[in-house]
Each structure stands twice: as C-alpha cells, then as structure tokens.
Chains A and B, each alone.
Chain A
Amino acid sequence: MLEKILLLLSLSFSVAEELCKPGVGEAYKVRFSIKTALGDQAYPWNKNEMFLFRAALAFAMRDYTNGEEFGVSDVHPCNETPRVSFWFVVTRPNNTELVDKGTVEMAIKKSRNRINGAFLLTDQTLEFDGIYPTLAAPVSPDTPPWLIVFGVVMGAVSVGIIALLVYPLVQRKLKKNMDADDEDSDEETGVKTAENGANDGIYNSTFSDDERFTQM
C-alpha cells in the first residue's frame, strides 16, 4: 500500500516536471526586474513570492474562464534562474491536461494590471515573453492646441494691422474738424496771422532736384 502511494506521488511529481519544459509546448517564460523597478525598496525573490505568482496566475485563469476552479497547484514553474526568470505551464484543475498557450495568453492579457499590481511592477519590469502589452494611445485633445495659439497670434496681429491703418485716418479726420473750427473762429475775429513756418523753412522735397540722379 505504502509503495503504491509512493509510486503515485513520484509519478505525479515527474509528470509535473515533464509538463514544464522550457521553450516547448505550452510553456511561457516570465521575467522579473524587481531591482530596476523598485531600487532600494526591492524585495528579495523567494518561495513566498513564487507562491504569490502562482496564486495570481490561478486568479487570472479563474477570471478568464469564468469560474473554473484553478488552484495554486495548477501552475507549474521550472528552470528558475538567478535573473529571476522562469518558465511555467498551467494545467486544468483536477487533471494534468495542459491549458493551451492561447488561453493562457488571453487570461494574462485580461488581468495584466492585477498581476503587475500584486508585485508592484509594470508591463516593462514584469515581462511575459511573447505577450506584448497593448499600448496606450497617445493623448490627443479634441481641438489641437496649436490651432488655438495660431488663432490668438493671428487675431492679435490682425487687430494691430487694422489699428495701425485706421488710426492715422481717424487722426486726420479729427484734425480736419479742428481746422474747420479754427478757420471759423479766425473768420469771426477777422485777423489773419501768418504764423506757420514763417521763421524756419521746411525742406519741401517736391522742389528738390530729382533729376540729380540720372535715369537709366
């Protein structure tokens, strides 16, 4: 009886070990970069962390398959290295049938954030070889900001141009009105004083020698 139990146990062990073969079949490689992610706050990798990984993966399988009762014993790791990387396979609950790669991949993709969170890592520091993280789309606002800035600049410049063009016209109009008022007041008093420019000559370029420069 005892021998039979021992035989069964060793058989199941060896079966499990044979199930997980690196690079073959349904095995996935996973790599942890704890020191890169956490620096001084890095925790050491040990059996407890491995247990957490198996539990997290079992949770992912349960979540994806909607209730199939995967347990910690259904995740079989092997070939652990000092890098903290290892291969693993997943078997169906209560038997040794391997779950195919596709299903495992979908399960991991669905619960990626939860698995990352359990280890305080990110998509880049907890890598599953062959499963690429879906990238977040670049943020693009509805109105491109450059259009807003362009609008502001063009608005300011247009207002400036219109102001510069209209201002002298307005000034000239005001001056004409003032001159008309002055002339009225002059005619009333009846005195004409020739004040403007009597003493200093104004250089009137109309009479300057344009012909000084010879034409072609």
Chain B
Amino acid sequence: MRLVLPNPGLDLRIPNYEDLEKMEKEDGDRPKWDNKVQYILTCVGFCVGIGNVWRFPYLCQTHGGGAFLIPYIILLVLEGMPLLLLEFGIGQRLRKGSVGVWRAINPYLTGVGIASMLVSLLIGLYYNTLIAWIMWYLFNSFQGPLPWTQCPLNDNRTGFISECQQSSTVDYYFYRVTLNASASITDSGGLQWPIVICLLAAWTVICICYIRGISTSGKAVYVTALLPYVVLAIFLIRGLTLKGAMNGVKYLFTPDVDELMNPTTWLDAGAQVFYAFSLAWGGLISFSSYNPVHNNCMQDAVMLTITTGLTSIYAATVTYTVIGFRATDKYDTCISENIRMLLNGFELPEDSITASNYNAALHHLNSSNPDTVFGLDIKTCDMQKLLSEGVEGTGLAFIVFTEAITKMPGSPAWSVLFFIMLLCLGLSTLFGNIEGVVVPLKDLNLFPKKWPQEALTGVTCLVSFIICLLFAQQSGLYWVTLFDNFAGSIPLLTIGLTEMIAVVYIYGIDRFNEDIKFMIGKKPCIFWQISLRFTSPLILLVILVFYLVTQTQQELTYLVWDPDYDEFPTLASVPYPSWINVVIFVLAGIPSLVVPVYALCRLFFVRCKKKMKPEKDINQI
C-alpha cells in the first residue's frame, strides 16, 4: 500500500542509518541500560501493574469465566502486540522520548507527545494515591492483631460503634479510619493527616528510585518487578491449602460460552488489553530509546505479550483462591448463625441440626411452624452471591482481601506480604509513568538546560505531591474514582489511534519496515503488516467509538459511603454535581484535544511568520 501522506523534511529531522551506527559506537550522553535484563524487567514491571490483580480477575469472572480468555488472548495478539512493536520500534529508531519522537516525525504531531505527557501526569497523580493507601495498610500490618479485625467500642462500652456494627470491621477501617470519607464529592472536609504522610512517603520513594533516571530505577526494578512473582507464588501455595479455595477457582474459570456473543465482553477485553500494556503513556517509547540500535524489538514485543497474558491468568488464579476461601468462610458462618437461631428459637438440643442436615431441618420446621421461623428472620446463605461480592478495584484489595487475611493464621505476615506485593506492582508501573512525564518536560525545554536529572525528578515529585493533596481530603476517594474513570480511558484510546495512524500513514509503513530490517535484520512478516495497517487501528477505532457512545449515554453517578443512607452499608449511588462536567472536560477532553489544537496553532504561527517574512524583505530593499 502506497498510501503515505506528504511529509517534507522528514529525512532532515531524523538521524539516518550512518548516524545511528556512529552513535552506537560512541559514548553519547544519552542514558543507557546496563544490560538487557534491566530493560525487560522495567517493561514487564511497567505493564504488569495493580490492574492485573484487581481488574483482570473481575472482568474474567463477570464475562464468562474461562471463556473470557478467548477474546482476551485474541485481542492481546491482534491489538496489543502490534502497538507494542510500533512503540518499541519507533523509540529505538528515533532515539528520543515521546515528544521528541512525534516532533521528529512531523512537527505538527508534537501534540501527541504533549497529550501523552498530560495523560501520564494525571494517571500518575491518582495512581500514587493508591500507592499511599497501600503504604498505610502496609505500615499498619506490623502489629498483631491487625487493626481492622476489631471495631472500636461505643461510649458506654456495651457494644460497638453503630457504623462499624452495621457494616463490618474492614469496611469501617477503610472508609472511616483510613479515608474518613465524607458523604459526597462536594463535601471536601479537611485533610486526612495519615494520608498526607503516606503520600509524602510515596512520592519520596518514587523520587529516590528515579532520582538519576533509569540508572537508579533500573536497579530498583530488580526488586519491584521480581518480588510480586515470588509473593504470588507464596500466596498460591497458601491459597490452595485453604478451605474453599477450589470453589473460587472453579467460579473463576467456569466457562459461559454465551458471554462471547455479548459485545461488551469483547469491548472490555480490548480496553483491558490496551490499558494493561500501558500503551500511549509515552513510557515505552522512552525506554526503548535507551536500547542499542540493533536490539531485537520484535522479539521483545512478543515476549512481553506472552508474559503479560500469563501473569494476568496467574494473578487471577491466586486472587480467586483467596476469594473462594473468604466466601466459604462467610457461608459457613452464615449457616452456623442460622442453626444457632433455629436451635434457640425452637429450644432443640444442640446437635440436632448440623450443616449437613440444615436444609432438611429448615424445611421441616418451616412447614410445621412457619410463623416462628418467619419471626426468627433467617437469612438465606448464598454462596454464589458471596463469591461475586465487591471483587474489583479498591474493594478487592482493601476490603475483601484484608478480611480474608484476618482469617488466615499468622495474619500480620500475610498482610505484610500482600501489601508489599501491591506496592512493588504499583511502583514499577510508576517508574514508566514518571519517565513519561519527566522526559517530555525535558524535551519541551520547560526546565532550564543546566539542571541535573536529580533536580528535574525532585521538582516533578514535589509539584505532583502538592497537587495530590487533593486526594488527601475526605472526599479523596471520589476524586480518585473520577480520575480513574475519565483520565485513563478516552484520552489513551485517542492517542493510541493517532500513534498508529501517524506511524503507518505519516511516517510511512514502508519506511518503518526498512527501519526494522536495519535494526534486527529482517522485515516484519505479513501478520505484522496487516495488523499494523488495518486490524489494530480498526479495533482501536471501534473501541473508542463504543466508549464515547456509552459514556455520553450514561448518567453520571458515583458511589458514596453514607452512614445515613437507608440501605447502608451498601454504597449509595448519587448523581454528580453539575460542575463535575468541567472537571471531566479537563481530564478527558484537554489531553485528547491537544493533538488537533497544537497542530492548528502551529499552522497559524507558521503562516504568520511567512506573512511577516516577505514584508521584512521588502523593508530591507
């Protein structure tokens, strides 16, 4: 296909092959990876994040269990892998961060790089708040019994505080003790000092890990990328020996082939693949630009795809062993409680009703004395309902998992391990994130050239910490959810789509093929050609359109923790206030619109310059 848009001056802007060979031999001042392992671990750490633990298992289970793996793997290969090759290849070839790369391809496309930077910044802000919460739980895990096992007593010491009594100890600890959540996003309350301190710790840790760029983060990544795998293995062994673990795993992987007919399944799979690979953040392009020129980026793309896919399945299995354990435990408690009520209500001897004959006994008693049974208020114990409870996002980590851990023997140790694992997963993703913010800022010359890398990192972390104080308020949880929904969805899809179109049709797919041939020795095969030109952009376009359509149709509501709500402890669904539309525009609209707006501004600027130039010449004459 010869369809390439005219792009004059491209050869002047990018280094040619001789320059690349020269740069390879000489010791430039551009940072380099110490070895290939560092690069691979950094990319794996970047791609494997907290989402693999708390988003993928939920999607898997709600969209037909084992059957979800089919769309997931198909889209992983058709959508994720080509985009990976694209980002790796272009970064390695043009040897610049995200802004530099797009500026080199065409100065009008610099907006893509700026958009990547803005998105990385917004995502980094709320992501580090999650890290701060994880750190809070980690710090509090060094005591036995764990603080979320007990409710505080009320004033006259006859019972527990009603908020804790009605919900549960873990809910109370998360929403009240940790976050002190207000009842709506408008009610910002004051700063929660424990969270401020944890935010400080989180940003300081990131600062020190990235203080010299990849020379420090490359060393930190040995721990942050490998430790989660070790901890997952430990949890797998522990999980499989718990009672009821297999219930959870069976629930996760039971395939429901009908779900494949549902378009939302494919949509969610596509979106998950896209976010899982941290594409369009700009970090991957930066990391690849530090590679030697002849690094085999095609092999890296395939390897990373396989690793991410397998890690998702691995983490999902571990997660569901623990969820199965918790659900079984709750089910057993529910049944015991019902048996106790029946024995007390009917004054029967203790051994007459056990778990095995519970159903028969209940049926018998209900048919003989229905009024008494009704008066006892027996709850139905539903295993399926317990298995499907609150298993996504913060709810999974801070409520379901913490509750399950309290029931394991030696809970402080398990709690420490679990939160260290989440911490490492989050930190390794944040390295890529902060790379995607600091390097473009440097390329855009927003920092004075004389400043060393340490100063750049320090200033970025300080400014981000101050902005993050927004999330340390009492309404912080709702802001985090808002950012999660809007900053990380539409803009990323837009940027990803623009990237593909830019490389394939503006840079030129033929030129890209030649580059790959120069770098690794062979041209990409027919699979890559078709997917880069047609399949991947098409899939991205479909997902983007569907997302826009569904988002604009939905009424904007969010869930709040409101003790005064009728159905407390269920979260209340409340509509957003009207000024939230401005915020959503800032989060989702501005990064997406930067791309065309920058191009237009540059067009005007160039035209104005051209008009002024002839006038100058005339004046000189």
Contacts and interface: CB of A to CB of B under 8 A. Distances in A.
Contacts of A180: none
A82 B204 contact: no
Given A160-B208, A202-B26, A213-B103, A146 B351 contact: no
Contact of A135 (B27, B103, B157, B351): B157
Nearest to A159: B208
Contact of B605 (A137, A154, A157, A216): A216
Nearest to A138: B150
Interface in B531-573: none
A132 interface: yes
Contact of B207 (A139, A161, A214): A161
A141 interface: yes
Given A82-B348, A83-B344, A154-B201, A132 B158 contact: yes
Given A134-B158, A150-B197, A154-B201, A164 B211 contact: yes
Given A138-B152, A165-B454, A213-B104, A34 B157 contact: no
B521 interface: no
A23 interface: no
A139 B145 contact: yes
A150 B159 contact: no
B12 A216 contact: no
A111 interface: no
Interface of B is mostly: helix
Interface residues of B, number: 51
A193 interface: no
Contacts of B212: 164
Given A34-B350, A164-B208, A137 B343 contact: no
Interface of A: 31, 33-36, 81-85, 132, 134-135, 137-139, 141, 145-150, 153-154, 157-158, 160-161, 164-165, 200-203, 205, 212-214, 216
22 contacts: A36-B350, A81-B347, A83-B343, A83-B349, A134-B158, A138-B151, A146-B136, A146-B142, A149-B138, A149-B142, A150-B198, A153-B139, A157-B205, A164-B211, A164-B454, A203-B26, A203-B27, A212-B12, A213-B104, A214-B9, A214-B107, A216-B602
Given A150-B201, A205-B28, 20 more contacts: A82-B348, A82-B349, A83-B349, A83-B350, A84-B350, A85-B344, A135-B159, A138-B151, A146-B136, A146-B143, A147-B139, A149-B138, A149-B142, A150-B139, A150-B197, A157-B208, A161-B211, A212-B12, A214-B13, A216-B602
Interface of B: 9, 12-13, 22-23, 26-29, 100, 103-104, 107, 110, 136, 138-140, 142-143, 145, 150-153, 157-160, 194, 197-198, 200-201, 204-205, 207-208, 211-212, 216, 343-344, 347-351, 454, 602, 605
